[in-house]
Structure 1
Amino acid sequence: MPVESLKNFLDAHQVRYVLTQHSPAYTAQEIAQSAHICGKMLAKTVIILMDGKMAMTVMPATSRIRWDRLSRAMGTDFIELADEEEFQDAFPECELGAMPPFGNLYGMSVYMDEELRELENISFSAGSHSETLTMSMSDYTDLVKPISITEGFVKPSATPPLQRHRLGRLQVHRHA
């Protein structure tokens, strides 16, 4: 059963969704594999502290945060990953680390990677490590009203902008 408050919220807004049961999975990539969802189509939720206040970031499971870029995009000097102990009480119905990307239900701002807006549907953990929920992206953005950001998220396979190689002496090569 998905988080009861999320289910009630979606039902009250007459939103169609599909709940998928899968074997327990704990990382975004494991969830995508267990639920048979392409990693770039599964949204993962990461809780951050921005200037001391908790906020939610939502990005494709295949992405990671570039803290320097995210800080610049948010216009702040201080952003860090929240410890699980810091936010576990904020999501009383959820298994630790399986929060759905509905910060509005938990009194948090939601910052979403603009790349997700291109998807027709969004899939995400539904409050447990063995359930995902899929709904239309348009319904999600209408209900959550996430703040879209275009910077701060990168794919792990992305070539770093600066690589160093030792060839007799240190040389710096820039990649476009």
Structure 2
Amino acid sequence: MPVQKLKSYLDANGVKYVTISHSPAFTAQEVAASAHVPGREMAKTVMIKVDGKMAMAVLPATFKVDLEMLRQALGAQNVELATEEEFKDLFPDCELGAMPPFGNLYGMDVFMAATLAEDEEIVFNAGTHTELIRMAFPDYVRLVKPVELQFSLVTA
């Protein structure tokens, strides 16, 4: 079960969390609705390449990544969305598109939208299209050590 690696990591680090099961959903907004979580509180993981290196951008489900804003914030030459073909093998324990925002477990940087820091908790995919994890935001920051930046815009 994909979620077990993540749960084991959280347990080993003394993190309290809640697992939320929901009917199958695939977009961050669908997942939030299915699990009765406001879209602005649901964190989605977007796979990007920063100067050719794979990384995660983590932002609220109701926002979208502004690649130019992210490129400027990072001082990078190029920032682009990664294709599923490019990252599918990096997450052998996860369903495609349901990766948790724990790049540290997969050897990659995590860039987090500053707007996520406004909430006391974070809710995210737990590696499947039917399970979420809700945990305290400070615990997420302590474990993942994401780089907090301004790079997202509210979707209409």
TM-score by length of structure 1 reads 0.87
What's the CA shift for 1:77?
2.1
Q: Does 1:155 align with 2:154?
A: yes
Point out the structure with max Rg over C-alpha.
Answer: 1
Alignment deviations for residues 127-165 of structure 1 (CA, whole Å, 9 cap, x no partner): 000001000001000000000002x200112xxxxxxxx
**2:134 maps to amino acid:** T
Alignment partner of 1:19: what SS?
A: strand
CA RMSD of aligned residues (A): 0.9
Partners of 2:2 and 2:95 within 8 A in 1: no
Relative to its length, the structure with more helix (as a share) is 2
User: RCO higher in 1 or 2 (8 Å CA, sep ≥ 6)?
Assistant: 2
Q: Does 1:139 align with 2:154?
A: no
Task: Give the length in aligned residue pairs.
Answer: 156
Partners of 1:2 and 1:131 within 8 A in 2: no
The alignment-based identity, stated in percent, is 54
TM-score by length of structure 2 reads 0.97
Once residues 104 and 49 of structure 1 are traced to their aligned partners in structure 2, the CA distance between those partners, rounded to angstroms, is 16
Partners of 1:17 and 1:133 within 8 A in 2: yes
**2:130 maps to amino acid:** S
In the alignment, structure 2 segments of 5+ residues that lack a partner are none
What's the CA shift for 1:47?
0.6
2:74 corresponds in structure 1 to 74
What's the CA shift for 1:2?
5.1
Alignment partner of 1:138: what SS?
A: helix
Alignment partner of 1:76: what SS?
A: coil
Partners of 1:103 and 1:144 within 8 A in 2: yes
In the alignment, structure 1 segments of 5+ residues that lack a partner are 158-176
